[in-house]
Amino acid sequence: MKIISNNGCLVILCIFLLYAFSANARNDIKDNEFNPVNTGVTTLSITPDARGSGMGNLGAATDPDVNAQFWNPSKYAFAYSKGGVALSYTPWLRKIVNDIFLGDLTGYWKLGDADNQALSASFRYFSLGDVTVGGYTSGETIQTINPYEFAFDLGYSRKLSEKFSMGVVLRYILSDLSYDDSYSGETNTAASAFSADISGYYVTYPMIGRNECQFSWGFNISNIGTKVSYDHGATYAYLPTNLRVGAQFMFPLADYNTLAIGLDLNKLLVPTMPRQKDYDMDTIEGQTQYEEAKEKWETMSPITGIFKSFSDAPGGFSEELKEINVSFGGEYAYNQQFFARMGYNYENASKGGRSYFTFGAGFALNVVRLDASYMLATAQSSPLDQTLRLTLSFDMDGIQDLLGKRRR
């Protein structure tokens, strides 16, 4: 990837992420209605694994698996296996460039003989590829930079009853968009932050007719943490603090055949940045009101911003509802070995317009499982169209059984 720029790496991130998230929305609505919630380190919101993305970005209450760290880490306490590890890979914006990708490594391990608690960890790395920064007038190359972001986290989950568990995750985040322009003296620095997740998961097994079904619901409040700054503290951006709430119902179709249907609702818990067009900028009073609102937004603490985010949309309650993203999907499983998935993700056009259908499939053996998903955006011009994800998972129980048989 090559870009000639005089505004540093922050511009690079805006070009490739903001365009990806909202390029199509402006064509569908009036400019005065377009009002997405702005955050820093937006890559924290990108789905890392193929199973959840194959169901329309669903995972708050799905059956526990090794990738629960992103969706709802409290599910690990109900995991069927003693432990597992998964590696996921996503080529990102491949319709535009070929060297941007997201990689994710996730794993967990159940503690004690009671199997009612678990430790988990994940490492995700997002690379923006090679960016060549050119001269202002002559076009000569000044330097080639490699902007990237990564997050490392540790989690703990525990059953509080036979049907309910909770989990907590602590995360360190680094966003390295550093850039040093010796020509203009402009610099951007790497930004770091700490955050935490709080989650809960409930599961029960109702009888419907003669069939035992499974109903579950869950929540995850993720990325509750400090702000990030790329300019030595002159300005700050909020982390993408997010509330995810979901439910799933699983029922048998026949022997060895099950179907699970789920729904997730997501809302960014980030205050809305004031807009000049909401104030009368032709008057001194309007300009003063705007500057006061902007300063209040900039200095607001992240915790205050979480509560403020439920009532600060310029359009009132109707606009707050537009900030809720909806994910709906299902998974068919045969003997827990073959899987087929389908889903839909909806985001209001005024908040970014990232709406798309997803499809997925998976195959599992005792030790290894391979999942893949494919995204079809509702607008063919979307840079997210045709996004592919791959996840390779390993089951610790299966590995132990395999080694035990070899020893015998």
pLDDT tens, residue by residue, 132-151: 765 555 555 566 778 899 99
Residue 15 reports pLDDT greater than 50: no
Whether the predicted pLDDT of 315 surpasses 90: no
Long-range contacts of 313-321 (CB under 8 A, 24+ apart): 313/35, 313/272, 314/35, 314/272, 314/275, 314/278, 315/35, 319/35, 319/350
What residue type is 67 in one-letter code?
Answer: N
User: For the chain, what is the mean pLDDT?
Assistant: 85
Q: Which of 330, 404, 407 is nearest to 367 (CA)?
A: 404
Please check whether residue 218 is in contact with residue 74, taking contact to mean a CB–CB distance below 8 angstroms.
Answer: yes
- Mean pLDDT along residues 298-320: 89
- Between CA 308 and CA 274 the distance in angstroms is 13
Q: Considering only CA atoms, which of 228, 183, 308, 244 is closest in space to residue 45?
A: 244
Q: Length of the chain in residues, anyone?
A: 408
Choice between 184 and 242, residue whose per-residue pLDDT is larger: 242
Structural domains in the chain plus CATH codes: 9-272+309-407 (2.40.160.40)
pTM: 0.88
pLDDT of residue 35 exceeding 70: yes
Give percent above pLDDT 90 in the chain: 53
**How do residues 342-355 score in pLDDT, each as one tens digit?**
999 999 988 888 89
171-225, pLDDT tens digit by residue?
999 998 766 655 555 666 788 999 999 999 999 999 988 899 999 999 999 999 9
Q: Is residue 350 within 8 Å of 29, Cβ to Cβ?
A: yes
Name, in order, each residue with C-beta under 8 angstroms of 317's C-beta and a sequence gap of 6 or more: none
Measured CA to CA, the distance from residue 399 to residue 136 in angstroms comes to: 57
Checking if the pLDDT of 5 tops 50, the result is no
Q: What is the pLDDT of residue 23?
A: 47
For the stretch 341-390, pLDDT in tens is: 999 999 998 888 889 999 999 999 889 999 999 998 887 666 777 889 99
Mean pLDDT of 277-298: 84
Asked if residue 147 lies in contact with residue 176, where contact means CB atoms within 8 angstroms, the answer is yes
Decide if pLDDT at 334 tops 90: yes
The whole-number average pLDDT for the span 277-287 is 82
Which residue spans within 38-147 are E strands per DSSP?
Answer: 83-91, 101-111, 117-127, 131-134, 141-145
In the prediction, which pLDDT does 346 show? 94
Unique residue bearing structure tokens 């491949």: 94
